[in-house]
Amino acid sequence: MNRYNNQFKITFPAKSANEAFSRSLISAFSTQLDPTIEELCDIKTAVSEAVTNCIVHAYAKETDERKKTVSITAYIEYDNLLTVKISDRGCGIDDIEKALQPMYSGSGSDERSGMGFSIMGCFTDKLSVKSKPGKGTTVTLKKYIGKQHAAKK
Candidates 7, 101, 113, 128; binder of another protein (CB under 8 A) is 113
Beta strand 81-88 pairing with 4-13: unpaired
Candidates 26, 74, 81, 119; binder of another protein (CB under 8 A) is 119
From residue 79, give the alpha-carbon distance in Å to each of 11, 30, 52, 108: 25, 11, 28, 42
Active site residue 66: no
- Of 18, 53, 80, 89, the catalytic one is 53
Binding to another protein, residues 55-74 (CB under 8 A): 55-56
Cβ proximity to another protein, 19 vs 79, nearer residue: 19
C-beta of residue 73 within 8 angstroms of C-beta of residue 9:
yes
d(CA 149, CA 115): 28
Active site residue 49: yes
Cβ proximity to another protein, 23 vs 89, nearer residue: 23
CB of 142 to another protein, least distance (A): 19
C-beta of residue 127 within 8 angstroms of C-beta of residue 120:
yes
Point out the residues that are catalytic: 49, 53, 112
